[in-house]
Chain A
Amino acid sequence: MKLVGMILLVVGMSGVALAGVPEIDPGSGVSALALLSGTLLVIKSRRKK
C-alpha cells in the first residue's frame, strides 16, 4: 500500500505541476503514470526466496 499511496500523491500533485503547458502533455499523463506505477509495483514486489 506504501507504493499505492505514493503513486496517489504523485498523481494528485502532478495535477498541480502539469499546468497545461506543452512540455509534458497532460493528455498522455494517465498512460505514462500508469506505466511508471505498474513498473514500480512489479519491481518492488519481486519475491525473495
Chain B
Amino acid sequence: MINSPSRRSLALPQRVLDPSIPFPSELSSRIACLAALFVLELIVISVRFDTQALDGRGGLIGAVGDFGHYILQSLVVLTTVFLAFGYSNAKDALPTICDRFVGTPLVWSFFAAHSAAMIVFAFFSAVLFGGARGVPENLIVLVWLATGVLGIATALFFFIPPRAVRELLNKAGSAWIYAASAAALTPVFVVASKRLWEPTAALTFEIVKSLLNPFLTGFVADPATKTIGSQRFTVEIAPACSGLEGMGLMLIFGVLWLWFFRSDYKFPRALLLIPFGVSLMFVLNALRIAALILIGHAGAPAVATGGFHSQAGWIAFNGVALSLACVAHKVPWLSSIRTPVVRPEPWVENPTAAYLVPVLAILAAAMVSRASSGSFEWIYALRFLAAAGALLFFRKQYVSVNWKFGWAAPMIGGLVFILWLLLDRIAGTQSGGGMPAELAAGPAAARVTWLVIRVLAAVVTVPIAEELAFRGFLLRRLISADFELVSLQRWTFLAVVLSSVAFGLLHGDRWIAGSIAGILYAGAQKWRGRIGDAVVAHGVTNALIAFSVLWGGKWSLW
C-alpha cells in the first residue's frame, strides 16, 4: 500500500531502532528481582500463617496480632512514598550510579545469609503462630522480628551492593522524611476514619432522606437502623457506606496530583481543589445511594445491589478525579499554564491516544455495562462497540502499523491457551459450570446475538486493543518517554515484567496466567518486531478459550 504524504505524517512510526536511549536497566532488573523475591516470600508467609491465630494472645505476640495489619499498611505506604519521591529526587544521579554499578557481581554470601535468616524466621513463625506453650514468647518475638529485618537487609544487599544502596539513599534525600511521616500517620488516619464512620453515615442518611422524600411514594426511613427506601425496596446505610472511603481516596489523589504537577497550578488557591473534590465525593456517595434505591424501587433490585452497587463508586471517583485533573487546568484562576491554542484535530497529534483509547474505551464501556447489569452482563455488546468505534476513529494512525504475522504467532497463542488451562487447574479454579442461567433462559435470538458479539470481541477487538496498549505502548513507554522511537524488538527486563504484570492484573484472579501470557505476547512481538504477531497470538488464545467455553462447556473461563 502506498501512503500519501498526509497519511504518512499521521501514521505511527514502527521499528525505528534507537539503541541510544539511556536507561538504568541493570539496576532496574535487580530491583525487580528483589521485589519479586519479597512478593513471593510474602505470599508464602501469608498463605502459611494467619494473624487471626494470634487473637486473644497477650504480650508482644498479641500486639503483633492486633497491630499486624496496621504495620503492613504502614509498610505499603512507606515503600510507595519512598519509591515515588526517592525516584523524583535521585533520577538525575541514577545514570552515574548505574554506570559504576554495571558488572558488579552478586554477593552470594548475602544470599546464604538471607536463606539462613528466612529459615530461622519460618521456624520461629511456626512456633509463635502454632501457639506453643511454655516458651519465652516475648524473647522469641524479638528474635523473630530481628530475623525478619535481617532477611530484608541481606536480600537487599545480595541484589544491590551496600555502597550503591548508600548512594541511592543519599540521593533520595528528603524522601525518607515524607515516607516515614506518611507511614507513621497511616494507622492514625485509619483508626480516626473508623471513628468517623457512625456520624458520617448519619449525615449521609439525612441527605439521602431529603433527596428521596419528595419523589418516592411509600417512603420509608428509620434513623435507628439507618434503613431507607420504599415499601418495595429498602437498603441499610451501614457505617462503612458513609462515603469516607471515597473521600479518603480523593484526598490521596488530590494531594498527589497537586504535588506532582505543582508547577501547573497557582498556589495557595489551587489547594481549594482538595476540599472541593473530597466534598463532591461525599455528595456523590449520597446520590449513589439515592440512585441505587430508585433503581431498586423501579423494579431492578438485582441491578441496584449488583452491578450498580459495585461500579457507581468508581464511576464517581474517576469522574471527579478526571475533572479535577483536567478541568482545573482550563480555569485561568487556578492554572498557571497559558491557554493552549485550539487545534482542529488535537487527537491526531497524540500518538498515545491511538494506542490507549481503544482499551480505555473497553474499560469505560465495561464499567457502564456492569453498572447497568445484575448478575449477568446482557449489554456486553457495549464493550465491543466502544472498542470498534475507537479503532475506527484512529484508523488513519494505524496505517503503518505492521499487522503481518508469521507461523510462530498462532503457536504462541496455542501455548498460552495450554498454560492458561494448566494454571487454572493448579490454582484449583473451577473451570466447569454451565451457561449462565439468565443467558440460558433468554430468547434464542438474544442468546445467539450475545454469543456472537462475545466471541467477536474476544477474538478481534480485545486482542487488537490490548496489544496496542500493553505491548505497543506500555512496554515501550517504560523504556522511553518517546515510545514511538523505541523499536518493537527492544526489551528491557523491567519494561517486559511491568507491562505484563499490568496486563495480568486486568485478568483478576488469573493475574499470574495473565502476566505469563503478557510475557509470551511480548515475545511474539519481539520475534520480528511486528505488533501483528502479538495480536494474532492473543486472538488465537482467546479463540481457543471461546471454543472451550462453547463446545467444552467451561463457562468459568469467561
Chain A positions within 8 Å of B241 at CB level: 21-23
Q: Considering the chains assembled together, what is the distance between the CA atoms of A23 and B322 in angstroms?
A: 19
Given contacts A16-B186, A24-B245, A43-B326, contact A5 B260 (CB under 8 A): yes
**Minimum Cβ distance to chain B for residue A34 (Å):** 6
Chain B positions within 8 Å of A14 at CB level: 249, 252
B346→A46 contact, CB < 8 A = yes
Chain B positions within 8 Å of A5 at CB level: 83-84, 87-88, 260
Q: Which of B91-124 contact A (CB under 8 A)?
A: 91
Given contacts A2-B260, A41-B352, contact A22 B309 (CB under 8 A): yes
Q: Which of A1-49 contact B (CB under 8 A)?
A: 1-6, 8-19, 21-25, 27-32, 34-36, 38-43, 45-49
Given contacts A15-B73, A39-B322, contact A32 B245 (CB under 8 A): no
Q: Which residue of B lies closest to A18 (CB)?
A: B245
Chain A positions within 8 Å of B88 at CB level: 2, 5
A42→B352 contact, CB < 8 A = yes
Given contacts A6-B257, A13-B80, A35-B360, contact A21 B245 (CB under 8 A): yes
B245→A17 contact, CB < 8 A = yes
Chain A positions within 8 Å of B506 at CB level: 30-31, 34
- Judged by a CB distance under 8 angstroms, whether B246 is at the interface is yes
**Minimum Cβ distance to chain B for residue A39 (Å):** 6
- Judged by a CB distance under 8 angstroms, whether B356 is at the interface is yes
Q: Which residue of A lies closest to B313 (CB)?
A: A24
B314→A47 contact, CB < 8 A = no
Chain A positions within 8 Å of B469 at CB level: 38
Q: Considering the chains assembled together, what is the distance between the CA atoms of A17 and B252 in angstroms?
A: 9
Q: Considering the chains assembled together, what is the distance between the CA atoms of A28 and B340 in angstroms?
A: 35
* Interface set of A (CB-CB < 8 Å, partner B): 1-6, 8-19, 21-25, 27-32, 34-36, 38-43, 45-49
* Interface set of B (CB-CB < 8 Å, partner A): 73, 76-77, 79-81, 83-84, 87-88, 91, 186, 190, 238, 240-246, 248-249, 252-253, 256-257, 260-261, 285, 309-311, 313-314, 317-318, 321-322, 325-326, 340-341, 343, 346, 349-353, 356-357, 359-360, 363-364, 366-367, 370, 469, 478, 481, 502, 505-506, 508
Extra 4 A-B pairs, beta carbons < 8 Å, given A10-B252, A35-B364: A2-B88, A22-B241, A30-B508, A42-B360
